[in-house]
Amino acid sequence: MSYERIAFVAADSLAARTALARLKKRYRSVPPEEADVIVALGGDGMMLETLHRYIKRNVPIYGMHRGTIGFLMNEYREGGLPRRLARAEPVVLHPLRMTAITQKGQKREALCVNEVSLLRETRQAAKLRVSVDGAARMPELICDGVLVATAAGSTAYNLSAHGPIIPVGSDLLALTPISAFRPRRWRGALLPSSAHVIIDVLEASKRPVSAVADYTEVRHVRRVEVREERDVTMTLLFDPEHNLEDRILTEQFTP
């Protein structure tokens, strides 16, 4: 597929800003609101920010690595960009929708690309009940927190919490505990992307918990529901030689 109207966006780093200036000088560009494709310059954080900013446009995002972590970014090269875009292979993602109910009964919703995480707010561990599709799979989980990660987010916080890496484009979610105390040996679960996850905060007043969906934080929650938002589509573009599947395998065997 050929893209005639290209927009460039960049992180605030010197490397990304320098690349932005060079690419805009070399290629005709348009504002992101008018583009057929957006080229994001930076790291995975910049990719996440770009996906959020233009989530309502459903415009393909092609990342080039000019940051720290570049798992979701293509190699940076200035030449032959139109041809690379034409050859790029799409990967379709759907965000998670978090619905959080606070202790006062207030309802907050947010979309996230990486993960929804519940975290203890005080020195005391959180006490949670985890239900999947109406069944209480974990009646009581005592921990620092728990998260539900997408495939795109599985290499971020989820990986740091010793959760599994999920191939991008697969229909799976990771349910990963954070420093589980009881049951001590529970390492989490892989869920189908259609799963409806409900996390109830037990003893919410004594053991307050916050919920975070990427950039949105809700304090003092008592219940959080998480499900994939199939009505919202995001498209990432990768060079054929990027070989995302191989990078995922390599990451899993890296000490």
Residues with a catalytic annotation lie at: 44
Question: Pick from 105, 115, 215, 204: which is nearest to 157 by CA?
Answer: 115
CA–CA separation, 223 and 237 (whole Å):
36
Cβ–Cβ under 8 Å, residues 222 and 105: no
Cα separations in angstroms, 208 against 147, 157, 202, 211: 16, 21, 9, 10
Q: What tokens appear for 89 in the block?
A: 């292979």
CA–CA separation, 119 and 178 (whole Å):
8
User: Which residues lie closer than 8 Å to 18 by C-beta, 6 or more apart?
Assistant: none
- Cα-Cα-Cα-Cα dihedral of 159, 165, 168, 171, to 10°? -110
Cα separations in angstroms, 81 against 14, 37, 47, 92, 111: 21, 12, 18, 21, 31
Query: Which H or E run contains 247?
Result: helix 244-252
